[in-house]
Structure 1
């Protein structure tokens, strides 16, 4: 929590003014009961009306000043805490953007969303209250005790005896609530995970009639969170009634013993009235402090989760001194004895992979499910780093290049086509921010997307909904391909990017790509043999190892694995 509060430094001036205004407000609250005592003892008792009006007017001025200070403190505390929350969200988001896929897998997407929203909100709320209560509560407590001692030291023994009792009550209740608050945040993560999976997978859920099952999953996670929330709220809800009970007992004791003191001539009525107000101020300062103790445990749990994100350094970082390879004419991609293990996996996903993909060449990668095709593609833009060996572009190890420079050389079309909210043009321009309308149109033509885009109501200005749900799978793939084409990279990576296309569109697209990618190295991961038959080089993967490399004709006669794949998809006539 304290580590995060260092981010308040840009708002130190508003925070100082908040503390100053709260200080003045507390002084006014402490001064008012004394003025009331004077009105009663010197004005009402002695029948001095002018004195009543004089002191009463002064009380109104003090109360007005305290009110203005309260408004100023509320405004500035909200402004400082809001700015803190905004900066912290930006910092967390910026830090997460640097994560490799390993860190995303480790924390989880649902948890990252919760930490960036709910957890930061918890810290922001407690900060708003803390800036006011951290000055007001101790000042009202100790100031009230001093003023009570000034009015009647003997009667003050009741307050001095009650304060430790209240402190023990607060400690006993809050210590039971802290672990539950931590558990709540974890259970919110679980609820968000179930909800996110349900919303993103709604088509599959309905297709397999699993709606009831998913409802049960959600209800289970929701009930678990609700049970913990009820338990912790029941514990915390007991704090206020118990404290009010103690406070009222203390008030009765003060009135009873104060009456004895007045009857004995040791105290005046006005002083007793002031004393009761000071007692209430002391008690309420402790109540405010207890509210802080209720909020701080949950905020502390949230702060720990936020710090976990900020303290997690990405596995993949830029080198201190980098070597760049932005020359498209020297874009040869080479794998040199590359092996890769996923964290925690017993078996390597890739073993001793070596090949070269030159400029103007099409290198296809084919293999069974789980053979490591997509893993190989993910190593090139450094989504993961190779465990052993090296990957070079133009002779430069990609680990010696800045990630931004490396990825500027790459045009990736992922296995799962991803579109963003915006227009068709916005999604294609995602590949090149300053792309002209002509470049966008040309990329769409090559990607075989122009026909269906032109049939849309607003053409390239037609909206794309979240996740691209208003276009088909094949249309999403073609727009993803256009996004890579408009970039004009040195290396094209197509990760099973033609799977949703019919054979005719697939053939037309590959033919158009030939002339478009003559100056680039092209890697195509595919399941279809028809997609890779014309490649200059076909790499056959089997259990993470290269089984064979060659052309289609060569592999038919030399590779048993490749021939099995071909015969499972093509007839003997098509093979011949």
Structure 2
């Protein structure tokens, strides 16, 4: 995959938290219930590291015994003490065995802790999303919320699983190895330390250069993904306008830019390890020369020199690990901050402690002196007053931006009014629980929402406990049963991700079937026929007429042909009701509604009689 860096040190750009300390406190609070497990993790990690550090020292003793024994055998003064060497080997096996057990145990516990924490985070995010007001989703990108659940939580998981213990063990490794090196020979240890400034300088230089290219690479990946998604998502339009060559040229330009930044970023991150090995080898040369001299003069033993060289190899590795994990932890804190920001967003006003009963309502809806604005200083609905009697069909019409859909949002309590009240059977809708209130309504919207599942399950979404027979009856009422039965798989036909394997009209009929199955007391039909042809509109209208029987219904429409039979038509403009009446009454007034109607139907006389009759 392009952009995937090699493990360890990379120059990938790191997002930094705005409130680092505050976010760390919140994350530690999340980890508090697991403090005992984390304590065991730290103890096991430290023990594993200590055993690893002690190993070369003990192995050096075995080497010294072997060399001394060989010299004694050559000199005829003794022999190799294989018993002592054997015990050292046993001791080494025990030490390394315990180190492996402790390392495995701490890894197992920390993986469990990190997955428990991120599981709770995802659960809390989902619960939070359910409590967020609709205003949040109107002002935030859906992909942003999705990113919190996936990318951010995964980053936290990865950091908790590896980052914390890696930082601790690396720090202990540096201190422990440094101590052991000084305990063998402080002169050789100081010589080995000379490579540190060079190592840090090289790391800093490479990170600085590679980070710039990683940022360009990530931006190029985003641009390519967006371009590919746009072209594939709209491939019919691209082909219709012969835009293939332009699309390929745009892709090639983005791909070349990605290629340039990708190979440079990968090159810089890829040369990190070879350069660090080269620097480490310089240190080995220096230590070998100095150690050889000290061994020859008897200042240190051969086994101690061997131990020192092993420690030298262990000294540079944790430096790179700390640099890499510090970047990972910074990313995790930044991801945590974004998650906590979402979790601290203002929620919907809580449901009343003693909610009104919504089970036996006659569905009389009354708007009294309603004022509303999405922003405090911008009023959208002005002094709205209206009453809908049970069973009436109420149409709401007007130009785009008149406030039609806003009325529906207020009725469903997606937003609360700024002033005034909305009553159902004389009870303020804020006195009901939101779920109880919304269960009173069935909605058929212009933008149909169908999931990647069978037709049967998509209809059943209206009432999850419905039987197959009830689902099919609802489809028959919605005029879609015959079409479904002509499909090879019938009701078990799976709709694809975009539901593009059925037409727009058929999708609309399925949503009507879903509303029929829900059997609500009131209906909201928002531009339900705006995206279909005239013949399909007639079929949908029949289904909706059946659905609206004996139900208080609110119909939002641009096609005025669909609301001729409405009991009342509310004509809105700039948030105000400018006219009220039946279709014929409003035409007779020759006012705003008549002008809207004439603008749509002034071409009817030029159309064939059958088409005009259909309209």
TM-score, scaled to structure 2: 0.82
Partner in structure 2 of residue 329 of structure 1: 361
* Aligned twin of 1:100: 133
Stretch deviating more after TM superposition (270-279 or 193-202) = 193-202
| Matched position secondary structure for 1:464 | coil
Gap change, CA 1:422 and 1:332, over 3 Å in 2? same
The 1:511–1:154 alpha-carbon spacing in structure 2 relative to 1, beyond 3 Å, is closer
> Could you tell me which residue of structure 1 aligns to residue 124 of structure 2?
91
Tell whether 2:438 aligns with 1:407: yes
Write out per-residue CA displacement over residues 461-493 of structure 1, whole angstroms, 9 at most, x where no aligned residue: 322222322111011101111112211223211
> Would the aligned equivalents of 2:188 and 2:287 in 1 still touch at CA under 8 Å?
yes
Aligned length: 574
- State the match for 1:318 in structure 2: 350
Q: By how many angstroms is 1:189 displaced?
A: 6.6
**Cross-structure match for 1:524:** 555
Q: Deviation per CA, 1:494-529: give whole Å up to 9, x if none.
A: 101123455566556555655654553210111222
Q: Label 1:506 to 1:18 Cα distance change in 2 as closer, same or farther (>3 A).
A: same
Shift of 1:133: 0.7
Aligned to 1:152: 185
1:45–1:10 Cα change, 3 Å: same
Q: Is the 8 A contact 2:509 2:540 kept in 1?
A: no
1:288 aligned onto 2:321: yes
Partner residue in 1 for 2:55: 32
Q: Closer, same or farther in 2 for the Cα pair 1:292/1:109, shift >3 Å?
A: same
Name the structure 2 match of 1:552.
583
Partners of 2:59 and 2:303 within 8 A in 1: yes
> 2:159 matched to 1:126?
yes
Instruction: Note closer, same or farther for the CA distance 1:245–1:307 as it changes in structure 2 (3 Å cut).
Output: farther
2:517 is matched with which residue? Answer: 486
Moved more, 140-149 or 393-402: 393-402
Q: Are 2:421 and 1:398 equivalent residues in the alignment?
A: no
Aligned to 1:566: 597
Corresponding residue for residue 175 of structure 2: 142
Distance 1:114 1:189 in 2: 14
Normalised by the length of structure 1, the TM-score is: 0.86
> Structure 2 stretches of 5 or more lacking a match?
1-22, 70-79
Distance 1:226 1:89 in 2: 35
1:277 Cα shift? Answer: 1.6
What is the CA distance between 1:229 and its match in structure 2?
A: 6.3
Computed over aligned residues only, the root mean square deviation of the Cα atoms, in angstroms, reads 3.6
Q: Distance in 2 between matches of 1:193 and 1:343?
A: 31
Residue 481 of structure 2 aligns with which residue? Answer: 450
SS in 2 for 1:466: coil
Q: Comparing 31-40 with 124-133, which one deviates more in the overlay?
A: 124-133
**Is the alpha carbon distance of 1:246 and 1:505 closer, same or farther for their aligned partners in structure 2, counting shifts above 3 Å?**
closer
Contact 1:337/1:353 (8 A) holds in 2: yes
How many Å separate the matches in 1 of 2:443 and 2:116? 37
Alpha-carbon contact 1:114-1:192 (below 8 Å) kept: no
Shift of 1:198: 4.9
3-state SS of the aligned residue for 1:422?
Answer: coil
Residue correspondence of structure 1 range 274-285 to structure 2 within 5 A = 274-285=307-318
- Which among 65, 71, 92 is matched to residue 104 of structure 2? 71
2 CA distance for matches of 1:187 and 1:354?
53
**CA drift at 1:363:** 0.3
Conserved 8 A contact 1:440-1:486 = yes
- Inter-partner Cα distance in structure 2 for 1:389 and 1:216: 57
Preserved CA contact (<8 Å) 2:167 2:321: no
Please state whether the residue corresponding to 2:446 is helix, strand or coil.
coil
Contact 2:192 2:286 in 1 (8 A): no
8 Å Cα contact 1:425/1:460 also seen in 2: yes
Pair 1:61–1:209, CA change in 2 (3 A) = same
Q: Deviations over 1:57-79 (max 9, x none)?
A: 33233223323333334444434
Distance in 1, Cα, partners of 2:476 & 2:341? 47
Counterpart Cα distance in 1 of 2:425 and 2:265: 60
Q: Mean Cα displacement is larger for which, 108-117 or 232-241? A: 232-241
- In structure 1, runs of 5+ residues without a counterpart are none
Asked if structure 2 preserves the Cα contact closer than 8 Å seen for 1:318 and 1:401, the reply is no
Find the counterpart in structure 2 of residue 20 from structure 1. Answer: 43
1:334 is paired with a residue whose SS is strand
Moved more, 207-216 or 483-492: 207-216
- My pick for the range that moved more, 138-147 or 47-56, is 47-56
SS at match of 2:518: coil
Q: Distance in 2 between matches of 1:219 and 1:97?
A: 42
